[in-house]
């Protein structure tokens, strides 16, 4: 999917804190029988006095990752997603911001054990990678629904910031905004990001963004060097279906293609444009000859459902498309002006 117009900022991907201290660079759906258990949110958040308890709960699931490629080395963070050794991190952590995986990956657990790791698969479009170590009985962190977390909710970012000794660093902040797009300057624009003012520094990338219920709602990914207290995490709505597909298909991420550039509807946009809905995605551009073009979609259309799934944001659309296959025909429900319409669209294969 073409990159949407996003923030006029370039992000510094926070994952590769080099050895000399300089910085480098929808949830719950089943895919071929592999499913990441996504927890339902608790009623309200735990009190602030419980933050040490949350950290104690999550810390055993947070790992230190060292990558070596072509004489360069860097470190990042990951978190254990399954007790049989599957770990989620950022693509740029395992590639050192390059196009290919590192020659050597080492994972250190909080108990001091160190393992060689292998890359199971990676997805540059979402900056997500899955690595695996040969170990069992590990502490897997629960995953929460980022869709249900409100702006202003307190969150914790946990990771190996600046490769400081003594275990992972914990920073506290709030969810500043949701469903942000972001141009990184070194690859495709990232979509469906959570913005937070919890400090995210080099070495943090790949670590969990955690609610006060102890649930991961994001993968810490990027900070903005020229801004204050602005960091970004890939939401669980985006990363869960990608991780499921990587595990189930042996690392191959296939994303169905519509051929549209889109942006999320917000209440302000809906009011300014007189839209009939306050949630959905606005078609900004349609690629000529694409599946969307052949189905009759036009710029200005507002999609609210694809393949029977509600689409309230760009993150939702990304989650739906990663669960579909090229060649499938799906119904697209959209508004053109005030008229609700349905189009039959045959999905294509995501271009390279």
Catalytic residues: 92, 127, 205
Can you tell me the distance from the alpha carbon of 279 to that of 332, in angstroms, rounded to the nearest whole number? 15
**DSSP code string of 154-221:** EEEEEE-GGG-SSS-EEEEEEEEEEEEEEB-SSSSPEEEEEEE-S---TT-TTPEEEETTS-EEEEEE
Chain centroid to Cα 112, Å, comes to: 28
Residues 6+ apart with CB under 8 A from 271: none
Per the rule left: phi > 0, alpha: psi between -120 and 50, beta: everything else, 95 is alpha
In whole angstroms, give the CA distance from residue 63 to residue 325.
33
The residue whose two tokens read 């070495």 is: 203
Exposed e or buried b for every residue in 114-139, given b needs 16+ CB within 10 A?
ebebebbbbbbbbbbbbbbbeeeebb
- Measured distance CA(335)–CA(302) in Å, rounded: 5
Answer for the pair 222, 200: CB distance below 8 angstroms, yes or no: yes
Both tokens assigned to 105: 């990956």
Rounded Cα distance, 209 and 219, in Å: 6
- Residue linked to tokens 């069992």: 136
The residue among 120, 116, 211 whose CA lies nearest residue 172 is 211
């Amino acid at each position: 999917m073409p990159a949407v117009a996003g923030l006029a900022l370039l992000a510094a991907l926070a994952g590769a804190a080099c050895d000399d201290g300089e910085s480098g660079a929808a949830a719950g759906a089943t895919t071929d029988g592999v499913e990441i258990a996504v927890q339902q949110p608790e009623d309200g958040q735990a009190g602030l006095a419980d933050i040490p308890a949350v950290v104690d709960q999550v810390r055993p699931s947070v790992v230190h990752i060292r990558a070596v490629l072509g004489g360069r080395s860097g470190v990042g963070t990951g978190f254990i997603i399954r007790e049989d050794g599957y770990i989620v991190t950022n693509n740029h952590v395992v590639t050192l911001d390059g196009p290919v995986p590192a020659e050597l990956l080492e994972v250190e657990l909080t108990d001091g054990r160190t393992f060689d790791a292998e890359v199971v698969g990676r997805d540059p479009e979402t900056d997500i990678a899955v690595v695996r170590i040969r170990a069992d009985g590990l502490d897997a962190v629960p995953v929460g629904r980022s869709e249900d977390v409100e702006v202003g909710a307190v969150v914790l970012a946990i990771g190996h910031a600046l490769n400081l000794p003594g275990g992972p660093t914990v920073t506290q902040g709030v969810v500043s905004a949701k469903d942000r797009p972001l141009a990184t300057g070194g690859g495709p624009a990232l979509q469906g990001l959570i913005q937070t003012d919890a400090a995210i520094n080099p070495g943090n990338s790949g670590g969990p963004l955690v609610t006060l219920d102890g649930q991961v709602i994001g993968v810490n990914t990027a900070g903005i060097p020229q801004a204050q207290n602005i960091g970004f995490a890939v939401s669980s709505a985006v990363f869960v279906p990608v991780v499921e597909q990587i595990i189930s298909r042996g690392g191959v991420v296939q994303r169905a293609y519509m051929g549209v550039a889109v942006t999320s509807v917000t209440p302000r946009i809906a009011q300014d444009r007189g839209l009939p809905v306050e949630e959905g995605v606005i078609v900004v551009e349609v690629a000529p000859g694409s599946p969307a073009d052949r189905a009759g979609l036009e710029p200005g259309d507002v999609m609210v459902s694809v393949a029977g799934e509600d689409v309230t944001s760009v993150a939702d659309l990304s989650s739906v498309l990663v669960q579909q296959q090229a060649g499938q025909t799906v119904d697209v429900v959209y508004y053109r002006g005030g008229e609700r319409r349905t189009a039959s669209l045959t999905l294509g294969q995501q271009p390279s």
